[in-house]
Each structure stands twice: as C-alpha cells, then as structure tokens.
Structure 1
Amino acid sequence: MTWKSAVAPYLRVVMGNRYATFTDLPPELWDHIATYLPTASAVSALSRTNKSLYAFVEKDAWKSFARTHFPTLCAPDVPLSKHAARTLTSLSKAWDRRAFIATYVEPSHDITVFPGSKKATTWESPHGQTIGFTPLIDVYEDIEENWQHRTETLAFSAGAQICIRHTTRGGGGGSDVKWATYRPLAAREGQDDITTMHLLRPDDSLGDQRQHVITGTARGDLRLLGMPLDDPYDQDVRTTYFATQGMPVRSSSLLQEQSQPTLLATNLGDSRIALYNVDSEQSKICASSQFDLKPILRPDGNPSPNHRAWSTNFLSRTSLAIGAGPSEKPIHVYPITESGLSREGVRKLGLQNDPDGLDGKRSTSNVYTMVPLCADNGASGSGNVFLSGAYDGVVRLHDLRSNRDVEQAYVDPADDSAVYTILPRGQEKMLVGSSRHNLCKVFDLRLGARCYNYLDITQPRPGGSSAESADGDYNIFLRSSSPAFTVRGSRWNRNDHARALESSVYSLASPSAHSPYIYAGVESAIMSLSFTELLDRHPDPAYFQPWPANKSQNGNDHGADGKLVLNLAMYDQDSNMNLKVQRGYWETWRAAAPKGEFGVREQQIRLDERWRGPNSFGP
C-alpha cells in the first residue's frame, strides 16, 4: 500500500469544480491520515511531495507513525523522529525473522579497577569455587541531543565483584567503551557474593555526578556505592550503608522515578520485608518500614519450616509484590502508603482460578519473579497488570482489577523448568529465563495481532524457496553450538567454566524496550543478543555498523569480530520441535544469495539466513 492509496478516500471531496488535493486538507486531517500510513517508506514518500508536507512529516508524521505502529515500545518522554522510526522498524523485522548476533561480554581494554582507580587492560574472572558465579544484570540508556547519540550503562555481578560498562554511541554504529570494576578489599569469593544489584540512573536527587549502584550480599551487607566517572583526581568510592541487622539479602527491587524519592524494597533473611528511602548524602540508612511474613500453617497446626520469601518486586509506587512459598497463594501484593508498607488491604493471589484443580487437590508452588507490564503508551502504568514466573514453569498474567487470580497463562509444552527471570518487550514479546538447559524462551504477547508488519512493503517472492516460516513461540539455547568456538581460547570456555555449558538463565535485561540489545546472565558468563541481521548492508546506524559485503571477504578486517560471534540453537514451541542452528559468520556469507539478489522481497515472514535445519547439518 502506498501513501496515495492510503489517503485517496479523504481526497474525494469536491471543492468547487475540482477535487481536493492533500494540501487542501487542514493539518488535523493530515495528522489523522498519517496514522494510516503502513510503513516508514510511505511516510518518507509523503515528505517528498512538497515543502509543506515535508515540514509536516518531519514535525508530526514520524511521531504519529511510531506511536501508531509501536504503541508500547516508546515511553511518552522519548523523542521520536525518522531516526526513531528507522530503529523501530528495523528492530521489528529482526525480531520477526529471529535475526540476532550473540557474543559474550567481559571487561577488556580500557578498565578502571576500584578501589584505587588503577588501570588494566585484561580482566580476571572469579575463580576458586567448585561452581561458577550467578550473574545479576542491570542496564539503562540515556538519549543525548538526538536519537543517534546515546549512552548505555551496563552492570553485572561476578561473584563478589561488580563490572560496569559505559558505551557512548555517536551515530554510524561507532561507539566508545569504558569499563570499571569494583571488589571490596576484604571480600571472599563464595561468602561475599552479590545476591542483589541495581543501577541508579543519573538524578539530581543523588547529589553528585557519580555512577551509583546498590549491592546486597548473602553476608548481610547492603550498600549504595558511588563510583567516580572520568575524574583522575577522585579515586574514592563513596559508600552508604543500609541497616540489615546482619540478615542475608535475598532479593530486592528498586523504584526510581523523576521528581520522586527513590525507594528500595528488600527481602532480608527468610521472611523480613524492608522498605528504604535511598539517599546518597546519608552515611547509613535505616528502614522506613518493615514487617515479617507469617509462615503458613501445616495440617497439624505448626508453621511450615520451608515457607520463605523468594522475590520482591515493585509493581508501582503504591504497591509491592512478594513471592512467598511454597503456598497455595504465593503472590502477596501489599499497599504502600505515606507511612510505608501496610499489611492492611493485602491481596493474595494463587496460580490457578480453580484452587481444587481437576483432581480435587490444592497445589502449592513458589514464585521466583514478577514484573509489571507497561501501559499502552509505553509508560510505566499503574501496576495493575503484571507477569509472574513460578516453579512449575508457567508464566502467568495477572490483573489486580479482576476478581480472578490468573488472566492468561503462557506454557512451553516441551519444557516445564522453573522460571527465574522475565523480560517483557513492551506488550509485544516476552523473554523468559528457565532453570535448565540454558533455555531462553520467547513468547509473543500479541496473540497474532501486529501493529506493524515489514512485509507490507514487499513484493511476492519467487517460488521454490526452502526458507521456513518464523511464526510462533520458540526457545533459544544460550550456549554455543560450535565446538570450534571452545578451542579458540575464550575466557568463558576454560576448564574452570565447564559447568557453564549446562546452566540456568538467571537474569535478563535490556536498556529499553526499543533497544536491539538483550543481555542474559548464565553461569559464569554474560551474553549479549544484538537483534540485527548479520548480512544487512544498511543496518540501523544508531546502533550498528554495516557489514562490508564488498570488502574484507577474506576476513582480514573483521576476522576478530567473526571469531567472537556465537552460533546458537533454537527450536519451535510446537508439536514438531524442529531444531535449528545458526551458521557461522563466513558460512552465512557463502550460503547467502549472490550479490544483487539481496533485494528480493518476501511474501511471508522467513527465518534469518543464519538459521539452518537438520537437513543442512554436516560439512
């Protein structure tokens, strides 16, 4: 559909002896018509009509296009332009085609080591333990003067150590990367491992320009660390302590909003829930309110010894969700009032609407993670709608406005491993980290309804293609399927990390819903999934550099990058469960269509060129 066919019904208005032209319409109708343009190409074509329409498109049409086709991916305060539309449409196509590039992430080159602000070029991962570390991840990005200039801040835990990466992107896909690490001098691996971690975004209420991060440990230390940024004369890490009475920090949740006090909720020990007001100007912060969960009673009337809090998550500024169990109603939603946490008005939710089930028995379970869904406009929302992940491997959608416990369940028919982490991408897709086999599960939240489809601009593809459809939910194995990668000497594949080949997916994070980067934490490793096509000669310049198809075909210029790319495997969540594996960097180039055929259009969504099925295995 072209922009002319989209606006034709609006032009059938007679003005005297002639039909109205598009420029005769009032600006209000221009904006309304722009919402019906199906693709970014149609909007761009409209801007080339005349000067007045060009001005309208640059000022308003791109915003209308992004809000209409990607309503839950951009928050209201995100500046939208044609560059934003480029990012959103390119990302949508990559997700639809399951096109991503996986690499490991670790500090390298420019590293500042704290305490002491020492410089290093290599990083030594934690060692000496019989099992690898369990990484936690947090990340955010700030858009600078325009869409293509942004700064991403990534933090992950590695045993008792924190690693922070600052990436500055200036357009054209280029970036400047700096690393910082912090490990307390007296920390001991295995005893002082980090159990909770949160990055704080820059905020005037923090009082300085440091990078702030909150960490909690199994030993009971809960701290707010302020690390200096690019200041050679400041080598001190400022520390604010939270009072925990020495109780282990099991889980926590951070709520940071503009012009509002920053709140931290923690689970201390097995049952204590504490709420703190975060203030970097204080040397020690005590809980503003706290209480202990009451354990459930066994049939003999005694409290259950295994009952404890497993997860703590803010749903909004006025509600806090606690996952406690094993229990028939493991989700507790507590109101937050001006005086702090309140037990009055608590709502407890079960994991099934019929508590007796088909066999007449009541089931108990644990909930390991909960996350609120954003509102329709990409804002944080009221917290009424949220997702939960439980021990039984099911992700459930809950709505506090309903009298039912569960509104929707997302089930993988082939795997029932426990859900450890959930990462929603607006209201379009959801990534789920499971407890076994390095599985990252991808569910489509749209139930078949798409606001944008890149195939609207394409022509029918010639018959005879062997490409497979990319519809439906699927699972990704977050471990390399290529034995060649293991022998290349990567730090992650040495003998002390052999167990990482079979791991849980402990954490998932993304800088924003419109970012192409997904970060996953598996045992002793951090993986980055960059959603873009490997052979795209014109990728989104806000994040990626183009693959030089007509240069460096022998790999001289990009051989190092090629060696770092992982070849992952996946299978569909259907009755066939067809296993597919990604081709390597150069194998993809050799298997791709000859030059001049990359522009061939598709009639239905196809998998990325890197995916090959069982019939393609072998030399």
Structure 2
Amino acid sequence: MHLLSVPDDVMIIVMRHLSVKELASLSKTCHSLHNLVEEFGWRVYLSLHPLPSRSFAKSTPSWAPRAHVRVNAFIDDQWERSQFVARPLSDRWMTKLQPILAINASRLFLAAGNTIYTYAFGASSNALDDAPSIYQEATYSTSDSTHPKTDITSLACCSDDVDDRTVFVGYASGLVEKLILPPPLSSRQTTYVDASFREAFDGHGDSIIESISTTSDHILSVASSGTVCLRPLSSPETGVQEMIQLNARAWSSLLSSQYAAFGTSSVHPLVIHDVLPSGISPDPYFLLDVPTDYARSTAVYDITSAPMSSPWGASDQVIVSGWYDGQVRVHDLRSSKTSSEPGGSTSSLQPTLAFEDPWSFEPIYSISCGGGAGAHIAAGSARHSVVAFWDVRYAGKGWSVHAPGNDPSPVYSVIVDGPRVFGATQSRGFVLDFGPGVKEETYPAVDVNVASTARWGRHGAGNPRRHGEDDLGKKVGAGFYVTKYSHARSKWTGKSL
C-alpha cells in the first residue's frame, strides 16, 4: 500500500514506531506527509522518548517539537560519546565542607556548612545555539554560629508553593526544619533566614540527620542513630508522625508512595519497609542483598530510583544504590527471584545488575540516574573527586571523570538532570553539561588561578598545588580541563577533555 493512501489517524500510529531519521525521511516524501510529520510526528516522538530536565523546564514550552527533538538527539549523542563541558559553579570555598544538593523546576540548591546557595534556571528559545543559563541567584545563612552542630547535613525540595523556594533541611544537631527562603536582598549579599520563614520539628534527639526524602504526601527523615520519622507533608510540625528504629547506623533513604528504602551499616545494609495508610511498617519486608557468599557487615551510602524515561520502564520498583565496596547495585522489586528468611516473613532479593569502576576501589558516596535516553547511572566516589558513569544498555561499558579542580575530595552529592550532571566536592559545586549551545556566560563566572593554569600539561598533569591554591585549568571555550578515563583497560587514555 502506498503511504499516501494510508488514513491520517493510521499514519500517526505508524509514526509512533519510527526513529528520528525515519521521521525526517518521511517528512521529505511529499508535502502532505511533511505537514503530518510536522504537526504530529515530532510531538508523538517526544511523548515516547522524553528527556526530563528541570534545568530546561522554563525553556521547553517555547520550543517547536522538531527543534525539541533535535536538542534531545544532540544530548543523547553527547552522552553516547561521553562529551561534555565541565564547569565549576563557584570559586573555591575557604574551608573544606560536606555539601549536599537538591533541585526543583526553578533552581538548584547547594547547602554547605550553614549556608544555602541557590542557582536559578534561565530560559532559552533556541537551545541549539544558546543553552538555558544557570546563574547564582542568592546566598542564605541558616545560623549566625559556625559550630559544627549548625551544619546542614541533608536537604530536600518541597513543591508546595508557586515560587519553588521551600526546602526541608536536616542539621548535625538532629533538628529538621521547613524553610521558605525569602526573596534575596541581592545576589552578592547573604540573606539570613529568620524565624518567620522557618518551622522546626524534632524527634531524632541529637543525632545527625543523614537523609531527608519527600513525596507529594510525606516527608521522611533519618538520623545516624537509625531513628526514622515519617510525617504528613501538609502539616509536618503538627501532624501525626510515625517513628521506627532501624537498629543500625543509618546513612540514606528513598521514599515512594508504596515503600521506604534505607541504607545502613550492617550485614543487611539495604532494606525495604512498607508504607501503608496506617504508617510505615516497623519491620522490613525485603532485604536487598548481595550474593550469599558476602556475609559480612558493609554499608549503603546513597539510594535512588530509575527515572520514568529509563529503559527499565516507568516504574519506581527499580532501586539503585551505592555501596561501601565501590559497587553500584540495581535491585528490581518486580523480580520473582526472592528467597524467604528463616523464621520470618521477610524476603531476600539479589541484585539484577552491578557496576564498578575497575580502576577505583573507593566507596560510592552519591548516586543518581538519568541522562541520555534516561539510561545512565552516575556515582560519586569517596576520593579524588571522581564521578563514574555507566549506560545500563551496555552493562560492560563505563567511564569516569575527575571533577573540575581535581580535588582529593569525595563527591558528596550528585544529581543527573537530563543534559546536565550537578555535583559537589569539599571545595565547590560543579556541572558537566552534555547539551548544545554552552557558552562562557551560560554559567557563573569563576576566577582561574593563572599559576595553576600554566602548570597544566597536555594531558592535564601538573605539579602538586600549594596550600590554598586552586587547580582549575582553563581551556579554550566554555569548559575547564578535566581528566576522564575508560573502565576498559585496553581503552584507557588518561586524556583531559
């Protein structure tokens, strides 16, 4: 049958199964098919191949569907080839900190010490030539004391206001607060968040708040002592709270509408608890274990889930975790390969996939998923500011990169946001941008240490830096020199990008 004789509604169904190249070729066939592809084809393709990005959220509504597909195709290709622009988000902090990141559709939040930095997202009508900008919007202080107990140790966004300025903050003191960040005095002046913008609630004693997770209905806070508190998001300070005890040193959490996952230091460091209408179950119903011959205490430092656009399918039943032994493990709660624990109702589930950087034996401190085709995992290492990447479609393929500045630091936090990967070391926040149109002015300006730049060789190698000296090496264009390497021994290059 000739394409011109196919009814339009049938043709639209056919277009659901075409690739970008096939749609483009079909558009050139004749005028009527061109109009059909332009009106429906690219829109259908986008609905089936989304690339969610909160930092692009202000820009995408103004893009024509075909232009949007071109942007996404460019980003997917950059991820496939591990090509990006690396940028620090600020000058080096004066002291070593343990920062944490959070993100919503309006801005990126970076908490370090008792300070919260906000980076607002700009808009672009033509991202192929001019990437949506990110600029430092404000600096907030949550305490007038520099005591370690006032340090922010966990951070999560809350979408209960139109301006996206609400965050939940956990402190080293054991306190949890809901902050509505006020409009800043200026981008250069630090704004103190006074009592009128804060709601405090406790329940964890004086244990460090290690993790905060939120859904549209609840907030979950976890302290280092293993105390877990689940509160209704509508009224966390007055609502009925559910508390359980994990009986282990706790590090991380992940909350969904059906379950809560917890990472601890123990023989069974990753557990799943039911979230029921009556509250959170006190006992786990799943132990997400490693192979049975690994019967010793270990730790899970971070937990995330696959994005809705992931090749695994639009499900929150896939859990990705970073472990002390340097491995990233993937558990699928839909799997039938479970075994029951002796004398109880708890089941044990083995991982379906595991990833590691063969050149690094450091623990995984932070984890995030997404990127091109929603198929990538990013893992922040405990040393040398290394972020490791894997494409889940090619399990044996991976690569790693040192963050700008080449700190000996952990990557304490990492967020994959479509074309961008945000991270934070002890010295600063940074971004790896896989998108098009990145320019010098896309990101905040930073000072470049001239002496440090002069020491950079062809492959980014240099002499050890002096105390307090930054090691940013500037390249031509918008990016900074960083060193990346393949996980395959035969393909190791040691090249700087």
Displacement, 1:34?
2.2
Displacement, 1:160?
0.8
Number of the residue aligned with 1:81: 65
Number of the residue aligned with 1:457: none
Number of the residue aligned with 2:174: 220
1:247 and 1:286 map into 2 onto residues whose CA distance is 21
| Cα 1:209–1:90 shift into 2, 3 Å | closer
Number of the residue aligned with 2:409: 503
Amino acid at match of 2:242: S
Amino acid at match of 1:333: I
1:318 and 1:445 map into 2 onto residues whose CA distance is 25
Number of the residue aligned with 1:98: 82
Displacement, 1:247?
2.6
**Which has the greater radius of gyration?**
1
| Cα 1:333–1:438 shift into 2, 3 Å | same
TM-score (norm 2): 0.78
Please tell me whether residue 407 in structure 1 is matched to residue 352 in structure 2. yes
Please tell me whether residue 364 in structure 1 is matched to residue 297 in structure 2. yes
2:315 and 2:6 map into 1 onto residues whose CA distance is 38
1:564 and 1:54 map into 2 onto residues whose CA distance is 37
| Cα 1:286–1:579 shift into 2, 3 Å | farther
Displacement, 1:36?
4.6
Local SS of the residue matching 1:191? helix
Displacement, 1:97?
2.0
Please tell me whether residue 384 in structure 1 is matched to residue 328 in structure 2. no
Local SS of the residue matching 2:11? helix
Unaligned runs of 5+ in 1: 1-12, 14-19, 108-124, 142-151, 295-306, 449-470, 482-500, 534-538, 546-559, 583-610, 612-619
Amino acid at match of 2:225: D
CA contact (8 A) 2:175 2:209 kept: no
Number of the residue aligned with 2:250: 309
How does 1:167-566 map onto structure 2 within 5 Å?
167-172=121-126, 173=130, 175=133, 177=135, 179-201=137-159, 203=160, 206=161, 209=163, 211-229=165-183, 238-244=197-203, 246-257=205-216, 261=217, 263-279=218-234, 284-285=237-238, 288-294=241-247, 307-314=248-255, 316-327=256-267, 329-344=268-283, 346-352=285-291, 355-356=292-293, 362-375=295-308, 381-402=314-335, 403=338, 404-425=349-370, 427-447=374-394, 472-480=397-405, 501-510=407-416, 512=417, 515-532=418-435, 539=437, 562=476, 565-566=479-480
Number of the residue aligned with 1:57: 37
Local SS of the residue matching 1:85? helix
Amino acid at match of 1:418: P
Number of the residue aligned with 1:581: 495
CA contact (8 A) 2:375 2:391 kept: yes
**Can you list the C-alpha shifts for 1:514-541, whole angstroms capped at 9, x where unaligned?**
x3221111112111111147xxxxx489
**Can you list the C-alpha shifts for 1:496-521, whole angstroms capped at 9, x where unaligned?**
xxxxx2111111113x4xx3221111
| Cα 1:178–1:503 shift into 2, 3 Å | closer
2:239 and 2:287 map into 1 onto residues whose CA distance is 28
| Cα 1:95–1:351 shift into 2, 3 Å | same
Displacement, 1:324?
2.0
CA contact (8 A) 2:271 2:284 kept: no
Amino acid at match of 1:252: S
Number of the residue aligned with 1:24: 5
1:60 and 1:383 map into 2 onto residues whose CA distance is 30
Amino acid at match of 2:266: P
Amino acid at match of 1:34: M
The number of equivalent residue pairs is: 436
1:564 and 1:383 map into 2 onto residues whose CA distance is 36
TM-score (norm 1): 0.64
1:342 and 1:406 map into 2 onto residues whose CA distance is 23
Amino acid at match of 1:156: L
| Cα 1:339–1:435 shift into 2, 3 Å | same
| Cα 1:231–1:184 shift into 2, 3 Å | closer
Please tell me whether residue 139 in structure 1 is matched to residue 103 in structure 2. yes
Number of the residue aligned with 1:553: none
* Identity, % of aligned positions: 21
Displacement, 1:380?
9.1
1:381 and 1:419 map into 2 onto residues whose CA distance is 25
